[in-house]
Amino acid sequence: MAHKSYQRVVVIGDGGWGTTLAMLLHKKGVRVTLWSAFPDHVTELQKHHENKRFLPGVKLPEGLLVSADPFEAAHGAELAVSVVPTQYLRKVAERFEDALAGEVPVVSATKGIEIETFKTPSEILAEVLGGRPIAVLSGPSHAEEVAIGLPASVVVASTDENLARAAQATLSSESFRIYTHNDPKGAELGGALKNVIAIAAGISDGLGLGDNAKAALLTRGIVEMARFGQAHGARSATFFGLAGLGDLATTCYSRHSRNRHVGEDIGRGKSLEKILAEMQMVAEGVWTTRALFGPESEARGIPMPIAEQVNAVLFEGQDPRKAVSELMGRELAGEMDGLGGA
């Protein structure tokens, strides 16, 4: 059975992933406009037909529309795809409050948690843009691979089944397979929390702790993610699918992973400040960690020892090797303790 497919789409955010999604849509014949917050970057994209800042080496297709004007970009759009880093999302969404027609649904493709409010990207969008249908796109999907046609599978999750199916039909392609899901909270938390565990995996790489230690980190990390999600109204099973385990594995092992890169440099002795100053793109896991253990967090009381040690290393001066010792020296326990129904 064929499902509705959107023919006019605005992609909000000109990072690597936003650019990739705009390219996928354009290739399918969808009239898509890529919006950038920076007029100078729009000029650069139009001149070079390449996103040299965020997706170097990938040629943009002829005819892909790019704009820095929210009203121009959103004009006539049937669907908006939001791909703005979480800590900047609220201000960007406010720029589209009047530009985006009230009935236009939004697919959120951002992974993170807002530090000040502990809200997820879809919650920020709902708060700023009103009660329109919202879906979450998440899963193992490094832009560097998807942009050149390497195969990937992700989920689009929404409590609105019609939106999920329409977004699935619109965004799926020969190399980009999308499954629908009805647990957007779980999909969104999976996409945010896996970045914290990926920093831990990078630290493990930087310290040279080996394959066994890294495999244990991933496996115990997914349990932490599921515990947290379950405590916040998500289903634990969601974390063992593409939006959880799939995304976690990619982020913890890929050379493209910014979060794993941050952890690896820390494991080798570099300071967080220096690492972030040298990075062009955003490592969401750093800010998700801060949100998890910030004043608005509800993480306390949920057993998350790996995430706690990542926070201690990033923000409390903990030595990475001491963090490993503390993880290994904790009281012995059952593997799935604190995870009901697993």
Q: What is the pLDDT of residues 246-278, one digit of tens each?
A: 999 999 999 999 999 999 999 999 999 999 999
Position with higher pLDDT, 295 vs 121: 121
What's the mean pLDDT in 222-246? 95
Worst-scoring range by mean pLDDT, 7-11, 42-46, 290-294?
Answer: 290-294
What's the pLDDT at 298?
62
Going from N- to C-terminal start, the domains of the chain cover 8-182, 190-328
Mean per-residue pLDDT over the chain, rounded: 94
What's the pLDDT at 281?
76
What's the pLDDT at 282?
76
What's the pLDDT at 342?
47
Q: Which CATH architecture has domain 190-328?
A: Orthogonal Bundle (1.10)
Please determine, looking at this structure, whether the domain spanning 8-182 carries the CATH number 3.40.50.720: yes
Worst-scoring range by mean pLDDT, 31-35, 100-104, 241-245, 292-296?
Answer: 292-296
What are the contacts of 226-232 at 24+ separation with CB within 8 A?
Answer: 226/339, 226/342, 227/302, 227/303, 227/304, 227/338, 227/339, 228/189, 228/193, 228/299, 228/302, 228/304, 229/185, 229/186, 229/189, 229/190, 229/193, 230/339, 230/340, 231/298, 231/302, 232/185, 232/189, 232/298
Using a pLDDT cut of 90, give the percent of the chain over it.
Answer: 87
Is 198's pLDDT higher than 80? Answer: yes
pLDDT tens profile 22-54: 999 999 999 999 999 999 999 999 999 999 999
What's the pLDDT at 283?
85
Q: Do the domains at 8-182 and 190-328 have one common CATH topology? A: no
pLDDT tens profile 143-167: 999 999 999 999 999 999 999 999 9
Q: Could you tell me which of 177, 250, 243 has the C-alpha nearest to residue 24?
A: 177
What's the pLDDT at 295?
74
Catalytic residue among 91, 194, 214, 270: 194
Q: What gap in Å lies between CA 22 and CA 61, rounded to an integer?
A: 10
Residue 141 neighbours by CB under 8 Å, 6+ apart: 17, 152, 154, 247, 250
274 is catalytic: no
> How many CB atoms lie under 10 A from the CB of residue 2?
6
pLDDT tens profile 49-69: 999 999 999 999 999 999 999
Q: What gap in Å lies between CA 44 and CA 213, rounded to an integer?
A: 44
